[in-house]
């Protein structure tokens, strides 16, 4: 019995001791060993390691991975005071990792204080660099004007040495993720947007009206052309018919011109006196000569 208890105690002690002196460093971490609170060494490679047992040596793990942090947005004044939109709100993020774990550990200890540093110290770089660019460098329909990439890399370059030297932080990139207007300026934009759309609506309606007018007037002139063409065609047909009639007439009439003249006169009389006419005739008239007894023709009667 005693033997078993002793064995169990010995095994436990060994496990505890092993647990206190052995530690692993993960592939995505740095490990910092302190001896009585004083920094002893940094382990950057992953694997199993040995240290003096607690409380002589302590191990702190620091994340080796890159990380992203998006601080509060900043309101920045732009250099063009004539522009209505003279200030903009910039949303941005920082991608960073640790390139000097010792400095990082001694000054910042953890990511929370690192993020406070990042948002505090980055501001001045952002104000300095962004404040030199006009609004068109952030928003413009001409993509050559938009300098967001240039601005981002300038901020990154400006901030790098500060964070590297003072905090052991490697700034990989500072990037702009949003450009928007402060609330007080938005209303102006909304009003302009409304005005612009109203102009477009008005233009559409006017265009409809105008095109309708054009269609109707074009159609009216087409109609006129159609009718005049029809009239032209009709008069051609009539002229041809009359020419044909004339040729028929002349073919017939030239057989006896004298008789034609006589007959034609008679026919035109029929036409001229087609209505109710008034004649005052003398009995000398050839037609009425029989009304008098001394006529040449009465001889026949006698």
Partner 1 sequence: MNDLAKVFKSSKTFIFGIFITLIFAWILSGTYSITHEEAGVVTIFGSISGKIMTPGIHYHLPWPVGKLYRVNIKELRSVEIGHTKTGFKGQLSDDLKYKIVDYSDGAPSVSFMDARLFNKQFMTGDNNIVDILLVVQYKIISPDNYLFSFADPDALITLEAESVLNYYIATSTIDRLLLRDTLFAYQMAQDLQKRLELYNIGVSIETLFFKDVMVPEGAVEAAFRDVKSAEVDRGKRIEVARNKANAILSQAGSESRQILDLAKTESEQIKNTAVSDSTTFLKLEKEIEEKGSILNYHLWVTTMSNILGRAKLYIVTDNEALDTIYLQDEN
Q: How far is the CB of 184 from partner 1 (least distance, A)?
A: 10
> Among residues 10 and 238, whose Cβ is nearest to partner 1?
238
> Among residues 52 and 245, whose Cβ is nearest to partner 1?
245
> Among residues 53 and 91, whose Cβ is nearest to partner 1?
91
Q: How far is the CB of 157 from partner 1 (least distance, A)?
A: 16
> Among residues 166 and 228, whose Cβ is nearest to partner 1?
228
Contact 168, 101 (CB under 8 A): yes
> Among residues 6 and 190, whose Cβ is nearest to partner 1?
190
> Among residues 57 and 118, whose Cβ is nearest to partner 1?
118
> What is the Cα gyration radius of the chain?
58
Q: How far is the CB of 33 from partner 1 (least distance, A)?
A: 15
Output b/e per residue, 251-261; b: 16+ Cβ within 10 A.
eeeeeeeeeee
Say if residue 55 is preceded by a cis peptide, omega within 30 of 0.
yes
Which pair of structure tokens corresponds to residue 75? 């309101």
Q: Which residues contact 139 (CB under 8 A, 6 or more apart)?
A: 146, 179
Q: How far is the CB of 165 from partner 1 (least distance, A)?
A: 23
> Among residues 23 and 58, whose Cβ is nearest to partner 1?
23
Q: How far is the CB of 228 from partner 1 (least distance, A)?
A: 10
Q: Which residues contact 104 (CB under 8 A, 6 or more apart)?
A: 62, 98, 114, 167, 168, 169
Q: Which residues contact 288 (CB under 8 A, 6 or more apart)?
A: 281, 282
Contact 22, 52 (CB under 8 A): no
Q: Is 224 helix (H, G, I), strand (E, B) or coil?
A: helix
Question: How far apart (Å, rounded) are the C-alpha atoms in residues 104 and 265?
Answer: 134
Q: How far is the CB of 129 from partner 1 (least distance, A)?
A: 14
Query: Which runs of consecutive H residues, i.e. helices, occur in 82-182?
Result: 101-107, 111-130, 148-167
Q: How far is the CB of 299 from partner 1 (least distance, A)?
A: 17
**Phi, then psi, of 115 in degrees rounded to 5:** -65, -35
Which pair of structure tokens corresponds to residue 84? 């209505």
> Among residues 38 and 269, whose Cβ is nearest to partner 1?
269
DSSP bridge partners of 58:
34
Q: How far is the CB of 51 from partner 1 (least distance, A)?
A: 14
């Amino acid at each position: 019995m005693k033997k078993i208890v002793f064995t169990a105690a010995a095994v436990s002690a060994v496990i505890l001791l092993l647990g206190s002196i052995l530690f692993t460093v993960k592939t995505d971490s740095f490990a910092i060993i302190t001896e009585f609170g004083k920094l002893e060494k940094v382990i950057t490679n992953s694997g199993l390691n040995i240290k003096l047992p607690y409380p002589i040596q302590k191990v702190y793990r620091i994340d080796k991975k890159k990380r992203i942090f998006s601080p509060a947005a900043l309101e920045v004044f732009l250099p063009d005071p004539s522009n209505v939109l003279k200030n903009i709100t910039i949303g941005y993020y920082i991608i960073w990792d640790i390139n000097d774990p010792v400095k990082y550990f001694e000054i910042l200890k953890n990511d929370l204080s690192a993020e406070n540093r990042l948002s505090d110290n980055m501001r001045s770089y952002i104000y300095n660099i962004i404040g030199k660019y006009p609004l068109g460098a952030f928003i413009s329909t001409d993509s050559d004007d938009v300098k967001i990439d240039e601005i981002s890399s300038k901020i990154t370059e400006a901030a790098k040495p500060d964070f590297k030297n003072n905090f052991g932080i490697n700034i990989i990139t500072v990037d702009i993720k949003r450009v928007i207007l402060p609330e007080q300026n938005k209303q102006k934009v909304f009003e302009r947007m409304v005005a612009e759309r109203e102009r477009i609506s008005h233009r559409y309606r006017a265009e409809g009206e105008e095109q309708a007018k054009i269609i109707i007037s074009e159609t009216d002139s087409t109609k006129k052309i159609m009718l005049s063409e029809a009239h032209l065609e009709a008069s051609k047909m009539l002229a041809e018919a009359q020419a044909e009639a004339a040729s028929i007439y002349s073919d017939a009439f030239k057989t006896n011109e004298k008789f034609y003249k006589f007959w034609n006169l008679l026919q035109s009389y029929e036409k001229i006196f087609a209505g109710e006419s008034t004649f005052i005739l003398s009995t000398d008239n050839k037609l009425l000569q029989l009304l008098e007894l001394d006529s040449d023709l009465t001889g026949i009667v006698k």
